[in-house]
Structure 1
Amino acid sequence: MGLSEFENSNVFVVVLTLLAVSGTFYALLMPLFERDNLKTRMKSVALEREEIRARERNRLANQKENERVALRSSPKESVREFVDKYDLKKILSNDNVINKLKMAGYRGASPLYTYLFLQIVLPVSFFALTFFYLQIVLKVDASVGGVFLLSLLAAVVGFYAPSIYVQNQVARRQDSIRLAWPDAMDLMLICVESGMSIEAAFKKVAEEVGTQSTALAEELILATAELSFLDERRKAYQNLADRTGLDGVKDVVVALMQAEKYGTPIGSALRVLSDENRQARMQEAERKAAALPPRLTVPMMMFFMPALFVVIIAPAAIQVMQTF
C-alpha cells in the first residue's frame, strides 16, 4: 500500500469519526434545548374549542328561537280579540278539535284561534257573497226566499270548510307516515339492537327518514324532545300515538311502554311489529288494487263505451242513410 492510499484512508476514518461524534452530541444535547410545545398546543386547541362552542351555542339559540316562533306563533291581535270577545273557544272548541289540529300538524294557540275565527267569518262571507252574486250580478229569476236558501246552503259549506280542510290535512299526513313507518321501524330496530337508547334511535331515524316523510321525522323529533323534558316518559309515548292517530304507531308505543315498565327487551317486539306493519302496507296496496276495477266501471260506461259505440255504429248508420 502506498503512502497516498494510507493517508486517504486515514482521512476517511477521521471524517466518519467526526460525523459519528457530531451525531451523538446532537442526539444527547438537542432534547435539552427543545421546548415543550404540547401544553401550548393543547391550550390553543382548548381556546379554539371554546370559541367554536360559543359560536355554535349562539347559532343554535337563534335557530331554536326562529323555529319556536314558526311552530308556536302567536295569533294576530285582531283574531285573538274577536275569539276572546265572543268566547268562541268555549262554544266551538273541544278536545276533538285540538287533537285534529295536532294530527294535521298545527300546534300552538295560533292555529286554534285561526280555526275558530274562520268558522264564524267564512259562513257570513259565503252567505253575503252568494246572495250578492245571485241577486245582483246574475239577477236570477227566483224569489228572495229561494236565493236566501241557496245563500244559507253556502253559509253551511263555509262553516264546515275549515273542518274539511283540517281533515284532509290529517289524512295526507297519516298517509305519509303510514308509508314510511315500516322503513322507520327497520331503522329503529337496527339502532336499538346496536345499543342505542330510544331517544338516540328516534333522532337517528328522523334524520334518515326525513326525505321520505317530513311528517314522521317531525313527530319523532318532537317525541325525542318530550322524552328529554317531560317527567313521565309514558306521556311522551302517548303524545306520539295521539299526534299520529295510526294503529301501527300505537302498537309500537304500547310495546315501548311495556318494555320500560317491565324491563323486557324491545328488539324482538320491534322485529315482530316491523313485519306486521310491512304486511299491513302490502295488504293496503293490494286492497287499493282490487278496488280499482269497480271504480273504473262507471267512468268507462260514461266516457269510453259511448265513444266506442259511435265508432262501431257510425259507418253502418251512414251507409243506411245513403241507401234510403
Structure 2
Amino acid sequence: MSFDSSAAAMCLVLFGFVLLFVSLRREKKTKYLNKYLIKKGKDQNHPEKLLDWLDTVIPNSLTKNQAEVTQKLNDAGVYSFKYAYLYLPLKFAVLFIGGVVIAMATHATLELTIRIAVIAFWIIVILIVPDAVMDARVKKYRSDMTRQLPYLIDLLAVCVQTGMTIESSMGYLAKEMKGFDAKLARLLERTNERAHIVGLDKALDELYVHIPTSEMRSFVMTLKQSLQYGSSIYSTLTTLSADIRKVTMLNIEEKIGQLAAKMSIPLILFIMVPIVILIAAPGVMRMMSGG
C-alpha cells in the first residue's frame, strides 16, 4: 500500500476514534445528567467548547441502543420487526467497508485531498441518511394517522350511539377496519391490547405519546373526559370530527395560498433573468466590440 492510501486509512481510523470518544462521552453525560445541567447553568456565559460542538454536530444515532431503535420503528408504525438489533452493526459495517473500498478504488485516480473529501462525504451520508429516512417515515406515519382520524371518530361515534362501550367499540373497529386502513386498524388493535393490560386511561395516554399531534390530543382528552365523568360522547365526537376536518381544510387553503409566493422564485430565476439577458446581451456585445 502506498503512502497516499495509508494516509487515507489513517484519517479514517482517526475519525473512527473521534466518533467513539464522543459516543463514550455522551453516554457518561447521560449518567450524570443533573451534575452536567448544574455545571452548564453556571457556565452559561462561557464560549462553547469543541467537545460540546461535536456533541451537537455528530448525530444522535451514535449512542442509540436496540431499545431506542425499536422505539423509533414503533413510532414509524413498524411493530413486529425482529431485526432492530442489526440496525447499528449494519450501519457501521457499511460505513467502514464503504470507506475502505472508496479509498482503494480511488487510489490511482484521485489526489489525496480529494479522496479524503470523498471518504468524509461517504461517512456523513451513512451517518445521516438512515436516520433522516427513519424520521421522515415517522413523520409520514403520524401525518397519515392524523388524516384518517376523522373517519375513526365518526365510526366510533356510530358504535357508541348503538350502545357499545368505548372499549368494545375500539376492539370492533380494530377488526373491521383492516380492509379500509390496515395501519389504523393495527393502531387500534395495539391500543386495545394495552387497554386490557394497563387500563384504557393509560392506553390513551400512550396513544397520544405515540402520535403527539393536536388532533390526537383532542381525541384522547374527549375519551378520557367521557370515561371520568360518564358524559354523553356522541355529539362531542361528531363535533370533534367536524372541527378536525375544518382545520385540515384551513391548512390546505393556507398551503394553496403560499403557492403564488413560492412560484415567484422559479419565475424570476428561469424566466425573468433569461429575458433580461436576452434583451441586454446584444447591446453589451456591440459595446464590447466597439461598434
Q: Which TM class, normalised by the smaller chain length?
A: 0.5 to 0.7
Task: Give the equivalent residue in structure 1 for 2:94.
Answer: 122
The residue type paired with residue 192 of structure 2 is T
Q: After superposition, what is the alpha-carbon deviation per residue over 1:227-269, rounded to whole angstroms, capped at 9, x for unaligned?
A: 2x31422222222222223221122122222322332332243
- Give the direction of change, closer, same or farther, for the CA distance of 1:118–1:251 in structure 2 (3 Å limit): farther
- Within a 5 Å distance, the mapping from 1:261-276 to structure 2 comes to 261-276=228-243
1:143-292 equivalence runs, <5 A: 144-206=112-174, 210=178, 213-227=181-195, 229-292=196-259
Shift of residue 169 of structure 1? 1.0
Q: Which runs of 5+ in 1 are unaligned?
A: 1-88
Q: Which amino acid aligns with 1:193?
A: Q
1:282 aligns to what SS in structure 2?
helix
Spell out, residue by residue over 1:1-30, the C-alpha distance to the aligned partner (whole angstroms, 9 max, x if none): xxxxxxxxxxxxxxxxxxxxxxxxxxxxxx
**Matched residue, 1:41:** none
Relative to the length of structure 1, the TM-score reads 0.58
The one-letter code of the counterpart of 1:226 is: R
Aligned-partner Cα distance in 1 for 2:137–2:89: 19
**Partner letter of residue 89 of structure 2?**
F
Q: Using the alignment, how far apart are the partners of 2:175 and 2:272 within structure 1?
A: 51
Q: Secondary structure at the match of 1:195?
A: coil
Q: CA deviation at 1:295?
A: 2.3
- Residue 110 of structure 1 corresponds to 82
Measured after TM superposition, the shift of residue 160 of structure 1 is 2.0
Structure 1 stretch displaced more, 255-264 or 163-172 = 255-264
Aligned mates of 2:210, 2:252 — CA distance in 1: 24
How far off is 1:156 after superposition? 2.0
**One-letter code of the match for 2:263?**
L
CA distance 1:152–1:186, shift in 2 (3 Å): same
**What secondary structure sits across from 1:180 in the alignment?**
helix
Letter of the 2:137 counterpart: Q
Give the match for residue 293 of structure 1.
Answer: 260
Question: Deviation of residue 99 (structure 1)?
Answer: 3.4
Kindly tell me: are residues 234 and 146 of structure 1, through their superposed partners in 2, closer, same or farther at Cα, counting changes over 3 Å? same
CA offset at residue 163 of structure 1?
1.0
The number of aligned residues is 225
Mapped contact 1:182–1:274 kept (Cα < 8 A)? yes
Give the SS at the match of 2:148: helix
CA distance in 2, matches of 1:294, 1:270: 37
| Aligned 8 A contact 2:174 2:188 in 1 | yes
Q: Which residue does 1:85 correspond to in 2?
A: none
Q: Aligned letter for 2:236?
A: A
Distance 1:256 1:94, change over 3 A: farther
Q: Which runs of 5+ in 2 are unaligned?
A: 1-60
Deviation at 1:151, TM superposition (A): 0.7
> How much does 1:147 deviate?
1.8
Q: Is the 8 A contact 1:188 1:201 kept in 2?
A: yes
Paired amino acid for 1:273 = L
SS across alignment from 2:107: helix
State the AA in 2 paired with 1:292: L
User: Larger relative CO (CA 8 A, sep 6+): 1 or 2?
Assistant: 2
Question: What is the aligned-residue identity percentage?
Answer: 22
- What is the aligned-residue RMSD (CA, Å)? 3.5
Give me the whole-angstrom Cα distance separating, in 2, the residues matched to 1:217 and 1:303: 47
- Partner of 1:127, secondary structure, is helix
Q: What's the CA shift string for 1:267-323, capped at 9, x where partnerless?
A: 24323322221122112211221222222222333334467679x86xx99xx9xxx
Query: How far apart in 2 are the matches of 1:237 and 1:231?
Result: 10
Give the secondary-structure state (helix, strand or coil) at the position aligned to 1:135.
coil
Give the CA deviation at 1:207: 5.4
| SS of residue paired to 2:156 | helix
Structure 1 residues 306 and 97 mapped into 2: Cα distance closer, same or farther (>3 Å)? same
Q: Structure 2 length as normaliser, TM-score?
A: 0.64
The ranges of structure 1 where at least 4 consecutive aligned residues each deviate by more than 4 angstroms after the TM superposition are 94-98, 206-212, 304-310
